[in-house]
Structure 1
């Protein structure tokens, strides 16, 4: 004899739980996948690609760097000693850093340095640790309105991990 329509099928509660779980997982994927896709679309950038020449006007940005302005990039380098244990920014360099890059004028800006502005404050690693950074590239002289620090090349809306 067929089951009356008013009587739920066995395991209906389990199906509802699975459906809720699927909806929650779909929502989480919708939030996380754009960031993952952003990282997958990122172009690797190396320190030797930053400038094409050095002349009387100082360093001249490379054509490759100019073409990547505003686009997602990844970059491997070393975290310079942080100014404080937790911050929204740090300095990425190709080798150990001996001077405060923000304290210099544009003319004194080191050639192997990129300022990293994180999406949110994060604990900093010890100076000299290799890291991999991903975010959006910004090129050109800019002064941070909060700190007064000057930068030439920045990766913004960034994240990082140990390399």
Structure 2
């Protein structure tokens, strides 16, 4: 993967609270640029390859290929590049590169709302 700025999960939100989420200044500065993150991929919905979720720790799945419960507050939704058909192994640390987007967005394919996304993403095991 080409070198792009690395974004850590700790740089997503400055604050998470009952009144909402405050985006971290580094996330806002990198919005619209290609970044690399490292975490664990899982399908956002059972059997889905359209939308994946990147988490800092392996996600507990409710059933094969997905989860029925909410994702962690700092989960990043991953929208794969059209030609990306790469396999991934849930529970295996993975490096993901994509264009960073932030702000509320409803992802119908995932049946979820997203605050942070990587669009046109590609990945490789770390």
TM range (shorter): 0.7 to 0.9
Q: Which residue of 2 aligns with 1:74?
A: 36
TM-score, scaled to structure 1: 0.63
Offset of residue 58 of structure 1: 2.5
Structure 2 unaligned residues grouped into runs of 5+ = none
Aligned to 2:15: 53
Q: Which residue of 1 aligns with 2:5?
A: 43
The equivalent of 1:152 in structure 2 is 115
Measured against aligned partners, the alpha-carbon deviations of 1:43-85 in whole angstroms (never above 9, x if no partner) come to: 100011111112331221101111111111000111135632x
Equivalent positions of 1:4-23 (< 5 A) are none
Q: Is the 8 A contact 1:81 1:128 kept in 2?
A: no
Matched, 1:97 2:59: yes
C-alpha displacement of 1:147: 4.6
More strand by percentage: 2
TM-score normalised per structure 2: 0.79
Check 1:81–1:73 CA distance in 2 against 1; reply closer, same or farther (3 A cut): same
Cα-to-partner distance string for 1:9-65 (whole Å, 9 max, x where unaligned): xxxxxxxxxxxxxxxxxxxxxxxxxxx7xx33x210001111111233122110111
SS of equivalent to 1:43: coil
- Equivalent position of 1:20 in the other structure: none
Q: RCO higher in 1 or 2 (8 Å CA, sep ≥ 6)? A: 2
Q: How many residue pairs are counted as aligned between the two chains?
A: 120
Gaps in structure 1 of 5+ consecutive residues = 1-35
